[in-house]
Amino acid sequence: MQNRIKHACWQTLLVSLVLVSFTTSSFSQESDTQIAEAAQKALSTQMGEASKDLQVQVVNGDAKLRGWVKGPKDVKLAAYIVSTVPGVVHAYSSGVHTWTATDHN
């Protein structure tokens, strides 16, 4: 009888751990999506037309910027803006291309 109780307790614990893991994973994905949307909105609000060809992807709070901007200053500005969005742990540009080789502005 005690072995059955122990076995049932272990099964319950295992199922609970699986559910917690699944719930945390789903919440994290939803939060990352919300953070990415907020970052995209911040870029649009603060950079206007200059950010129209940028995309933000967030995974576990790490925000990756991709796309096109006018020059290197815009890359740095976009990364800074995204880094200020609540929930962003780290913002970096990966695959952001500039229309000009150097920024003379």
Inside any domain, residue 25: no
CA gyration radius, the chain: 21
**In angstroms, rounded to a whole number, what is the distance separating the alpha carbons of residues 42 and 103?**
23
Q: What CATH number does the domain containing 75 carry?
A: 3.30.1340.30
Mean pLDDT in residue range 27-50 = 90
pTM of model > 0.85: no
Inside any domain, residue 42: yes
Give the residue numbers spanning the domain of 67: 31-98
- Distance between start and end Cα atoms, the chain: 80
pLDDT at 60: 95
pLDDT at 99: 86
| Total residues belonging to the chain | 105
Under 8 Å between Cβ of 57 and 63: yes
Inside any domain, residue 21: no
Statement: residue 13 has pLDDT above 70: no
Inside any domain, residue 22: no
Of the ranges 19-23, 35-39, 97-101, the best mean pLDDT one: 35-39
- Overall domain count for the chain: 1
